Amino acid sequence: MEADFDFDRYDRVRPIRWTGDALELLDQRKLPFAVEYVHCGDVRAVAEAIANLTVRGAPAIGIAAAWGAVLAARDVEASNGREALERLEPALATLNAARPTAVNLAWALARMRRALLDAGDAWRVALDREANAIATEDLAANRRMGALGAAMIEPGSRVLTHCNTGSLATAGFGTALGVIRAGVAQGRIDKVYAGETRPWLQGARLTVWELQQDGIVPTLIADSAAAHLMRTGAVQWVIVGADRICANGDTANKIGTYQLAIAARHHGVKFMVAAPSSTVDLETPSGDAIHIEEREATEMFHLGGVRTAANDIEAWNPVFDVTPHGLIDVIVTERGVIEHPDEAAMRAAFA
Ligand code: MRU
């Protein structure tokens, strides 16, 4: 299914590099105007990089946290994995608290915990191996999702995406952007629109730049232009990623996703969520139970260091929202495609 895709031609960006004794993170606060890696030599630096969006995107923060656990282990002496886990708990809790909405963070740390519990005295090797596996499996899942998602798109389609769900947000290839990459490569997608994604501009700074590296020329729109774009018949699909997919299919993703789903349904545009199974959280019954991260209001007052809002005002800055499952036409994971997701379909696929 993936054989017709030339992976070397597409997908050249890598946001996370493990050097063997440190983590290097492509600084996504500075892209696309500077391409710089931030050196993280200890767990505190990794937690800070996740919280301040040096590294971002649900799968990428899970992978970074896994390597953060490996770094934390450098300061721990223990004769077996269980003992190591006890001593590592404070560091794992710090990593887990860095961002609340994307379940991939807690999921990756749970995997690291399990790896420790299963390991004897070779627990350091086990930790290293698990972090590596989390990254490798993410890349493979994305490539598989790309093929599965693209297969649903009629040749000649035009699509709109939101935020950044590409290589920058994952181990590589991307989730929604992976579907788009595969769709463009197969001639199914003729045109890609990317929403700016205020206030942090993941679309305008990251998605557009990432697609340019692949030779794909996207068209940027203001977030507020999306409904009008749909009304003109310019797009057939909205394709987005996810930070948490609940047991009933409700999906948390970047703020603005929900209004895209409402507009898409109103205009007969299909709505696809692409995410690895590590984003599926059957423990959370519905979107009402998701902790939506709210960030500093100050993020909304400036653009590139220039004040763009009036002085002495208040702002509300929730950075995710929940799209109810009834507005989602299809969820694509590496395990397959779920059309019209609801609790029964989700449990059948993931329980
Ligand atoms: O705040 P961010 O940039 O971490 O938010 C990212 C998103 O909302 C993405 O759409 C989601 O994490 C999926 S990334 C493959």
pLDDT digits (tens, 9 = 90+) for 193-245: 999 999 999 999 999 999 999 899 999 999 999 999 999 999 999 999 999 99
| The pTM of the whole model exceeds 0.85 | yes
| Over residues 52-69, mean pLDDT | 98
Same domain, 155 and 257: yes
Task: Output the pLDDT for position 5.
Answer: 67
Whether 129 and 210 share a structural domain: no
Q: Whose CA is nearest to atom 6 of ligand 1?
A: 57
Mean pLDDT value of segment 188-192: 98
- Is 75 strand, coil or helix? coil
Range of the domain at 212: 144-350
Q: What is the pLDDT of residue 56?
A: 98
- DSSP H or E run through 39: strand 37-40
Ligand 1 atom closest to Cα of residue 197 = 3
Residue 329 in domain: yes
What's the pLDDT tens digit per position in 269-295?
A: 999 999 999 999 999 999 999 999 999
Residues paired with residue 38 on neighbouring β-strands, in sequence order: 25
- Beta strand 280-281 with 270-274: parallel, antiparallel or unpaired? unpaired
Q: Is 246 in the pocket of ligand 1 (CB under 6 A)?
A: no
pLDDT tens digit string along 3-50?
466 776 778 889 999 999 999 999 999 999 999 999 999 999 999 999
Mean pLDDT of 248-263: 98
Closest by CA to 163, choosing from 66, 273, 33, is 273
Residue whose tokens read 């972090």: 131
Judge if the beta carbon of residue 148 lies within 6 A of ligand 1.
no
Q: Which residues are catalytic?
A: 243
User: What mean pLDDT value characterizes the chain?
Assistant: 96
Q: At 258, which CATH number?
A: 3.40.50.10470
Indicate the residue among 122, 141, 160 that finishes a domain.
141
Rounded (to 5) percent helix, strand, coil in the chain:
45, 20, 40
8-state DSSP, 318: B
Q: Kindly state if the Cβ of 57 falls inside 6 Å of ligand 1.
A: yes
At 7 the pLDDT is 72
User: How confident is the model at residue 283, as a pLDDT?
Assistant: 97
Among the three residues 84, 110, 141, which one is the final residue of a domain in this structure?
141
Dist. CA 307 → ligand 1 center (Å):
25
Q: Is residue 161 in a domain?
A: yes
Decide whether any atom of ligand 1 lies within 6 Å of the 102 Cβ: yes
Residue 1 forms part of a structural domain: no
User: What does the pLDDT read at residue 246?
Assistant: 98
Out of 123, 141, 159, a domain closes at 141
Q: What's the pLDDT score for residue 3? A: 46
Q: Specify whether 28 is located in the same domain as 92.
A: yes
Give 343 Cα–ligand 1 centroid separation in angstroms.
Answer: 23
How many domains, the chain? 2
What is the average pLDDT across 66-72?
Answer: 98
Q: How far is CA 303 from CA 85, 195, 257, in A?
A: 42, 16, 21
